[in-house]
Amino acid sequence: MTRSFVSTSSTIALTVAAMLASAPVAAQEAASAPAAAEADNGGLAEIVVTAQKREQNLQKVGISVTAVSGDQILERGISNSIDLITRTPSVDNYSPYGPGSSANIVIRGIGLNDFGEGHEAPVTVYVDEFYVVNVPAVDFALFDLDRAEILRGPQGTLFGRNSTGGLVHYVTKKPTQEAGGFVKGTYARFNELKLEGGVTAPLTDTLSARLSFLSHHSDGYIKNLNPQFAKDKGGQAGTDAVRLQLRYDDGDWDVLLKGEYGRTDKVHTYYEQTPSLRDPVTGLGSADPTGVDDAGYNEANFGAGKRNVAYTSNPQRLKSKGSTALLRAERDFGDISFTSLTGYMHFTRNLDEDCDASPNTICVATFPYKSDTATQEFRAFGKGDGFNWTAGVYGLYSKARNNPNATFNVPVSGDTAVDPVTGLYNGAFFPINLAANWKMRTTSVAAFAQGEVELTDRLTFTLGGRITRDSKKFNERDNASLRSCPGFPIPTNCFLPPNGPGIANPYRDTYKKTLISGKAALDFQVNADLLLFASVSRGTKAGGFNNGFYPGGVSTAQIPYRDENVIAYEIGEKATLFDRKLRFNTSFFYYDYNRYQTFNFEGIGGLLTNQSANAYGAEVEIQAAPVDNLELRFGGSWLETKIKDVRNGVPGGGVYVADREMSNAPKWTANGAIAYTVPLANDRSLVFNWDWNYRSSRYSNNFNDPSVKMPGYFKHNADISFNVNENWQLQAFVRNIGNKLAITKAFQFNDLGYVQYIYSEPRVFGASALYRF
41-47: average pLDDT: 79
User: Which amino acid belongs to residue 329?
Assistant: A
pLDDT band with cut points at 50, 70 and 90 for residue 649: confident
If one compares 748 and 216, the residue with the highest pLDDT of the two is: 216
Give pLDDT tens digits for 540-555.
999 999 998 877 677 8
| pLDDT over 90 (residue 297) | no
Phi-psi region of 761 (alpha: psi -120 to 50; beta: other; left: phi over 0): beta
User: Which amino acid belongs to residue 170?
Assistant: Y
| pLDDT over 50 (residue 29) | no
Give pLDDT tens digits for 594-619.
999 998 887 677 888 999 999 999 99
Mean pLDDT of the chain: 86
Q: By the 8 A CB rule, do 432 and 484 touch?
A: no
Q: By the 8 A CB rule, do 154 and 163 touch?
A: yes
pLDDT band with cut points at 50, 70 and 90 for residue 14: very low
Phi, psi angles (nearest 5°) of residue 8: -65, -45
The 8-class DSSP code of residue 662 comes to: P
What domains, with CATH codes, occur in the chain?
Answer: 5-735+749-772 (2.40.170.20)
Q: By the 8 A CB rule, do 642 and 665 touch?
A: no
166-172 vs 123-127, strand pairing mode: parallel
Q: Write out the DSSP string of 202-240.
A: E-SSSEEEEEEEEEEE---SBEE-SGGGTT--BS--EEE
Helix (H, G, I), strand (E, B) or coil at 59: helix
729-733: average pLDDT: 98
